[in-house]
Chains A and B, each alone.
Chain A
Amino acid sequence: MSNEARPEVTTAAAEQDSTPVVSLRNVRKVYAGAAGPKTALQDITFDVGRGEFACVVGPSGAGKTTLLRTLAGLAQPTSGQALFEGTPLRSVPPGIGVVFQDYGRSLYPWLTVARNVDLPLRVRGVPRAERADRVAEVLGSVGLADAGRSYPWQLSGGMQQRVAIARSLAYRPDLLLMDEPFASVDAQTRFELEDLILRVRQEFGVTVVFVTHDIDEAVYLADRVIAVSKSPGVVTEIADITLPRPRDQITTKADPAFARYREHLLSLVMNR
């Protein structure tokens, strides 16, 4: 990981950093559907700088998941370019971590928590002793130091998503992609996980692209919010969120500036 990675860099400083971590140029994605071709993404252009926390918001059907799969290198754009650290994404690069919405589907139920987290290290050929240390480190960071021997399905939903976060951080990616990661947990757990991701992002100095349909969540977490409109997906607004950090569930959300961002983005997404 490069040393210039600073979690607290402002948007302006991040843009001065030579190459953006993520760069989408007129990305368009058309699927061949049964009822003719379906345009999931019309024309998407934005950059995400090193250390930045970017949230992509939009209603369901705005192609958010397609966008995230394109960013991960899991799907190729029909036209336009998707770059990761200046290189076109042709497959999944080793420096990207992804947290999917449904932890029940992305965690491997036949492996213990520790072995789930260990898997990316094992396939990278990390020596055994170092693997054990790193697994313990990331599990500690997400507050699951004692859960290593459990199986994922023995844990609560929130804890399972923590395991998924730990697993995607274990190999120290430059970029962490999150696809509505907290949509399937209750509100209380959701707030805890939001604060957790802000903390580990700082701890690991990782760039985050976080996809959500929840505007409150986007404003609370992000340095920058990228609003995407309903199908076909186009970027309607890129808003810098200059709310002070560290953020707090109570005081940040009581800040009048929070309400202004929220109102602005909500009217945009709701088309008013």
Chain B
Amino acid sequence: MSPSYLASLRLAGRAATRVWLFVVLFALWWFWSSGSKSLYFPPLSQILKALWTQWVTGPARAELAASLEHLIVGYVIAAAVGIGIGALLWSARYVRVATSPYLYFLYVLPAPVLVPAAMTLFGIGFTMKVVLIAFAAVWPTLLNTLDGMHSVDQVKLDTARVLGVSPAGRVFRVVLPAAAPQIVAGLRNSLQVAIILMVVSEWEASTDGIGYYIVNAQQSFDYVGMWSGIIVLAIIGTVANLLFVGAENRVLHWHYGARAVEGTR
């Protein structure tokens, strides 16, 4: 056997280790549901067909686009505001000390209960959804930014002063990168919250979005459509997470490298 043949065999083995469970579960679901007469648990083959005819080629594409728009706009606002306000609060000690109890108060408030209030204030359109997503998702990023910047090592700051780095330069060249691991952890939490709020904000009195589609399908006994919407949400969550991890590994490669070295010393 040639070495390249062995190598490709090993590669296939590694791939198999990763996907075998998916294959098994998929097969179980497929065959277990194939003869299903239940209205509530339709055969997987039908769900996948609906996934194609509704979400890839059909009318539900508009719902997908609407939801992604809410998610992206809301999340970007949450991230920018979270990092920005977090940094401002970090630099203004008195404001920070005074506001900190209220920040945690708002942080622990379950954001879905704000849906009625948001509807009253902003109606049921685009603005309400984006505001709700941004409001709910801002806290993990904001608090992590504040905490991460607050715990930057004094020696790193002293070093920057000695090296002649200006106060503004210290924020961008030292404090932000040093706090980056924690800020990224906050951004990751915010992303999860944003996805949840994306769906929740579309449940009530909405006219578009995946959440609207799922509720609508359920209420009109279209359980195939309902399940297909749930699968679409799972795919969105997975893809968003993959994109996030990819970006994270690029931005924080130094952090994981240093941590790996620490572990071996």
Bound CA–CA A167/B159 (angstroms): 10
Partner of B153, one of A74, A105, A171: A105
Residue B121 is within 8 A (CB to CB) of chain A in the complex:
no
Residues of A within 8 A of B42 (CB): none
- The proximity string for B residues 151-178 relative to A, scoring 1 for CB distances below 8 Å and 0 otherwise, is 0010110110111111001000110011
| A102-B155, A151-B257 as given contacts; A108 in contact with B177, CB under 8 Å | yes
Query: Distance (Å) between the CB of B163 and the closest chain A CB?
Result: 4
Q: Are B180 and A106 in contact (CB under 8 A)?
A: no
Q: Are B161 and A106 in contact (CB under 8 A)?
A: no
Residue A120 is within 8 A (CB to CB) of chain B in the complex:
yes
List the one stretch of A91-99, A129-137, A190-198, A224-232 in contact with chain B.
A91-99
Q: Are B165 and A72 in contact (CB under 8 A)?
A: no
| A119-B165, A123-B163 as given contacts; A100 in contact with B257, CB under 8 Å | no
- B153's closest neighbor in chain A, by CB? A105
Bound CA–CA A119/B166 (angstroms): 12
- B262's closest neighbor in chain A, by CB? A153
Residue B49 is within 8 A (CB to CB) of chain A in the complex:
no
A72, A97, A110, A119: residue with the most chain B Cβ atoms closer than 10 Å: A110
Residues of A within 8 A of B178 (CB): 108, 110
Chain A residues numbered 142-181 whose CB sits less than 8 Å from any CB in chain B: 151, 153-154, 167-168, 171
Bound CA–CA A92/B155 (angstroms): 14
Bound CA–CA A110/B51 (angstroms): 44
Q: Are A154 and B161 in contact (CB under 8 A)?
A: no
Residues of A within 8 A of B177 (CB): 108, 110
Residues of A within 8 A of B165 (CB): 119-120, 123
Query: Distance (Å) between the CB of B56 and the closest chain A CB?
Result: 41
Q: Are A100 and B155 in contact (CB under 8 A)?
A: yes
Residue B113 is within 8 A (CB to CB) of chain A in the complex:
no
Query: Distance (Å) between the CB of A163 and the closest chain B CB?
Result: 12
Query: Distance (Å) between the CB of A67 and the closest chain B CB?
Result: 15
Q: Are A110 and B161 in contact (CB under 8 A)?
A: no
Residues of A within 8 A of B257 (CB): 151, 153-154
Chain B residues numbered 124-162 whose CB sits less than 8 Å from any CB in chain A: 153, 155-156, 158-159, 161-162
- B161's closest neighbor in chain A, by CB? A92
Chain B residues numbered 165-222 whose CB sits less than 8 Å from any CB in chain A: 165-166, 169, 173-174, 177-178, 180
Query: Distance (Å) between the CB of A15 and the closest chain B CB?
Result: 27
Residue B258 is within 8 A (CB to CB) of chain A in the complex:
yes
Residue A124 is within 8 A (CB to CB) of chain B in the complex:
yes
Partner of A119, one of B173, B254, B255, B258: B173
Q: Are A74 and B158 in contact (CB under 8 A)?
A: yes
Bound CA–CA A74/B161 (angstroms): 8
Residues of B within 8 A of A72 (CB): 158, 162
| A119-B173, A151-B257 as given contacts; A105 in contact with B155, CB under 8 Å | yes
Query: Distance (Å) between the CB of A261 and the closest chain B CB?
Result: 31
Q: Are B162 and A98 in contact (CB under 8 A)?
A: yes
Beyond A110-B180, A123-B163: 16 further Cβ-contacts under 8 Å? A72-B158, A74-B161, A94-B164, A98-B162, A102-B155, A105-B155, A106-B155, A106-B159, A108-B178, A109-B255, A119-B163, A119-B173, A120-B165, A123-B169, A123-B173, A151-B257
A-B contact pairs, 5 of them (CB 8 A): A98-B158, A102-B155, A110-B255, A123-B166, A168-B162
**Which residues of B line the A interface, CB within 8 A?**
153, 155-156, 158-159, 161-166, 169, 173-174, 177-178, 180, 254-255, 257-258, 261-262
